[in-house]
A and B are shown apart, each in its own frame.
Chain A
Amino acid sequence: MKTFTSRFLGNPRVYLGLIWLGSLLFVALTADFLAPVDPFAIVGRPMSNPSAAFPLGTDSLGRDVLAGLLHGTRATLLIAVLATLAAVAFGTFVGAVAGYYGRLIDDALMRFTEFFQTIPSFLFAIVLIAVLSPSAANVVIAIATVSWPPIARVVRGEVLTVKSREFVQAAVVAGQGDAAILLKQILPNTLSPLIVTGSLLVATAILVESALSFLGLGAPDVMSWGFMIGAGRSFMREAWWLVTVPGIAILLTVLAINMIGEGLNDALNPRLADL
């Protein structure tokens, strides 16, 4: 049997995705160094064409688009990853408790989850931002709030199947407590689908964040890709690069994350990949 690593890395699409994501991470960490200007600073004539001084031109206020793109990487990734982690943590908690205890607790938690699922998620996120006021932290909260229900569902389903396995009963018979059984026996065995769902959730989070910023509901003091598209959208005819460049960045990043997610799925479920 091939190992997980060789199956995962042997997939060319995973390779491409990792290369793109790796470069993004590098850019996010070194943005201050690569573009040592404040992305909000007015550095040139508004809407200059791409040139040697401004490789990607400037926007309607004369801000450097390249600097915005590089600094925006950090904000976009950070918000997406934090929102995903929060969603995964909360979703896992709800799903695990519901699946493990079953009966009334399960019913109550799942109806609660459905309540969130029935509200169109993007509209819900907009409402949340409108109520909470736009800021980076609130964007994270809004994205996490609308994206945890699928995680809870996945975890609940996995816990339900793992719970009935004999090694869990063996732990009960050994006298292990509920919390320990859940944490040490059950959850480690639900990781594979959780990792896959979680990785794909990062891509969704980037899209939601971009869409919120596009509507002007993102954090006003943080340069992100969605914010750049939102700011540049009225000038699409005069300065195509304002919208196109961050748009392509979002496209490639979401694509890369999806390819990695699919690769993870294939590598964690080798039988699916083989047949």
Chain B
Amino acid sequence: MSEPAISIRDLQVALPAWSDRKLAVAGVSLDIAPGEILCIVGESGSGKSMMGKAILGLLPAPHVRAVGGQVHFEGRDLLTLSEDALRAVRGRRIAMIFQEPMTALNPLMPVGRQIEEVLEIHTDLAPAQRRARVLDLIRDVHLPDPERMIASYPHQLSGGQRQRIVIAMALALEPGLIIADEPTTALDVTTQAQILHLIKELQRAHGTAVLFITHDFGVVAEIADRVAVMRHGEVVEQGAAADVLGAPQADYTKALVAAVPGLKPRLREPADGTPPLLRVVDLEKTYRISSGLFGGAVREVKAAKKVSLELKRGSSLALVGESGSGKTTLARCIIGLESVESGLIELDGERISGRSRAELRPHRKNIQMVFQDPYASLNPRQRVGDIVALGPMLNGVGREEAIAQARELLRLVGLKPDAVERYPHEFSGGQRQRIGIARALAVKPKLIVADEPVSALDVSVQKQVLELLNDLRKSFGLSMLFITHDLRVAATVCEEIAIMQRGEIVERGATADIFAAPSHPYTRSLFDAVPGRAWISGLG
């Protein structure tokens, strides 16, 4: 093996005194060969991001800082370099790609100028040469119409285009190492697939070493040459991608791999011929964005165009789409958080669309919602017991009894009954999502609308929550409308799928049928974009 591009030895990063553990990174040793992609996989809190930041001296000092070990890069130990020397290394020799391209770019500067700035600081190219190089870079990352592109501002570009610009910036000086911290997590699946492809292509062409930090084993399968699995600041397993993914050795890796939702479609239970529980007919919803002080020019966004769907009693339907497809708007209309423009929503034969908030109140207990963000969906100033008991109390159940029911529900979702006395911040993300589920169940609804309930959770926690939802569906006889961007999750949970694109349902049917033969081109592109598809299918 040739000289590694970067060699990390026994790196230790200390956390502030009040944290729950002393070291964010506890003695990690890694080598990355030139032209190699090393994926660091781990769940939140594993220290994977801290390690990436430690290499570039970007830790939030003085509270978090590297306290031991060496990072050898091009003959120097980066940890001992002065701030000035480190600045010369950053950007020029080691570049970073961040998770959120919108915040990584300056919103007030054309993107071409931002790339040029990198060249201006680190090289002595003439203005004309710099401009030519910028255009080259834009072409390298396959952005259309480079001349127009360099004059655009970040907000005029899509998320994928912005991430391409960030990648172009990272490549501008032909660095020896690129650190990519979850670069595709904020992107849609199809865009993610393109960006992964691009990173791989450019890395091959330039022979750059890449340290790729991610939480998603699918992404790892897609891009990695070698993999290091991190947990609690330590590397529990590392090796060639095929070995780690195909035959994991450490128990933790095995558990993580097992938690990756497979692409095995769930089968439809035999229909019993009863009328559908939820019926949506020709639903339309348009958002009008007025610009200007007096509401002059109005921009219209059609969030739902003639959407129709049916959900049978006791079954579950996944609404799959990318961001902006209108899936969340549709859910909010059904739950009554958003008024519909035209069309009909019927629950159990009763019309619930077009009613005022007061008229809707008696119907609320029939539909409940599980929200996406377990951190935002619980009131931080209320005890968990009061949060769960709110619904029943509003429906006339006495406080004592409602709290007793809350205890029982919390036990059902796998929490200790004494949770009723505690505040939400004392719980982890997965536990909070369980509380959210208990709240939704508290009023014994007929239908649960779950809006991306697991997308904010780590993969192992995600699996537990999905299993919980599954068990509860059986024991409560629940019907569920499950909104997700992730086909893998949809396949695990739902026996029927509706695919949404730009406010329209483009394909609808049994999960098994759609997985066997997707008919719409958009559905097919979604399938092709599932990261690590070949590997996941192989898992069985």
Q: Chain A interface (Cβ within 8 Å of chain B)?
A: 1-2, 165-167, 169-178, 184-185, 188-189, 274-275
Interface flags, B483-495, vs A, CB<8A=1, else 0: 0000000000000
Stretch at the interface among B89-97, B170-178, B365-373, B462-470: B365-373
- Cβ of B369 and Cβ of A171 under 8 Å apart? no
Give 16 new A-B contacts, CB below 8 A, not counting A2-B18, A175-B361: A166-B376, A167-B376, A167-B387, A169-B371, A169-B377, A170-B369, A170-B371, A172-B337, A173-B336, A174-B364, A174-B368, A174-B439, A176-B390, A185-B379, A188-B382, A189-B379
- In the complex, A170→B382 CA distance in Å? 13
Q: Provide the residues of chain A in CB contact with B455, threshold 8 Å.
A: none
**A275 in contact with B60 given A173-B335, A173-B337 (CB within 8 Å):** yes
Residues of B392-446 contacting chain A, CB below 8 A: 394-395, 436, 439, 443
Main secondary structure of the interface of A (DSSP, over half): helix
User: Closest CB of chain A to B427's CB: distance in Å?
Assistant: 14
User: Closest CB of chain B to A43's CB: distance in Å?
Assistant: 54
Q: Provide the residues of chain A in CB contact with B357, threshold 8 Å.
A: 172, 178
User: Closest CB of chain A to B347's CB: distance in Å?
Assistant: 13
Q: Provide the residues of chain B in CB contact with A171, threshold 8 Å.
A: 379, 390
Is B381 in contact with chain A by the CB < 8 A criterion?
yes
- Cβ of B381 and Cβ of A188 under 8 Å apart? yes
Q: List the 8 closest pairs (A to B, CB-CB), nearest first.
A: A175-B364, A166-B377, A166-B371, A188-B381, A174-B391, A167-B379, A166-B376, A175-B361
Q: Provide the residues of chain B in CB contact with A167, threshold 8 Å.
A: 376-379, 387
- Cβ of A169 and Cβ of B394 under 8 Å apart? no
- Cβ of A274 and Cβ of B63 under 8 Å apart? yes
Interface flags, B308-337, vs A, CB<8A=1, else 0: 000000000000000000000000000111
Q: Chain B interface (Cβ within 8 Å of chain A)?
A: 18, 60, 63, 335-337, 357, 361-362, 364-365, 367-369, 371-373, 376-382, 387, 390-391, 394-395, 436, 439, 443
- Cβ of A173 and Cβ of B379 under 8 Å apart? no
**A173 in contact with B368 given A1-B18, A165-B376, A189-B379 (CB within 8 Å):** yes
User: Closest CB of chain A to B447's CB: distance in Å?
Assistant: 12
Of listed A167, A176, A184, A189, residue having the most chain B CB within 10 A: A167
User: Closest CB of chain B to A133's CB: distance in Å?
Assistant: 42
Q: Provide the residues of chain B in CB contact with A165, threshold 8 Å.
A: 376-377
Q: Provide the residues of chain A in CB contact with B394, threshold 8 Å.
A: 174-176
Q: Provide the residues of chain B in CB contact with A169, threshold 8 Å.
A: 337, 369, 371, 377
Chosen A-B contacts, 24 in total, with CB atoms closer than 8 Å, are A2-B18, A165-B376, A166-B371, A166-B377, A167-B378, A167-B387, A169-B369, A169-B371, A170-B436, A170-B439, A173-B335, A173-B337, A173-B368, A174-B443, A175-B361, A175-B362, A175-B365, A175-B394, A177-B361, A185-B379, A185-B382, A189-B379, A274-B63, A275-B60
Closest A residue to B442 using CB positions: A174
Closest B residue to A172 using CB positions: B337
Q: Provide the residues of chain A in CB contact with B436, threshold 8 Å.
A: 170
Q: Provide the residues of chain B in CB contact with A184, threshold 8 Å.
A: 382
Closest B residue to A173 using CB positions: B369
- In the complex, A118→B377 CA distance in Å? 39
- In the complex, A189→B381 CA distance in Å? 7
- Cβ of A175 and Cβ of B377 under 8 Å apart? no
- In the complex, A188→B391 CA distance in Å? 19
- In the complex, A178→B364 CA distance in Å? 14
Of listed A171, A174, A178, residue having the most chain B CB within 10 A: A174
- In the complex, A171→B336 CA distance in Å? 12
- In the complex, A170→B378 CA distance in Å? 8
- In the complex, A175→B335 CA distance in Å? 11
- In the complex, A255→B330 CA distance in Å? 54
Closest B residue to A188 using CB positions: B381
**A175 in contact with B391 given A166-B373, A169-B371, A274-B63 (CB within 8 Å):** yes
Of listed B362, B390, B436, residue having the most chain A CB within 10 A: B390
User: Closest CB of chain B to A246's CB: distance in Å?
Assistant: 42
Q: Provide the residues of chain B in CB contact with A178, threshold 8 Å.
A: 357
- In the complex, A274→B364 CA distance in Å? 44
Q: Provide the residues of chain A in CB contact with B368, threshold 8 Å.
A: 173-174
Of listed A166, A173, A178, A189, residue having the most chain B CB within 10 A: A173
User: Closest CB of chain B to A93's CB: distance in Å?
Assistant: 20
- In the complex, A275→B364 CA distance in Å? 44
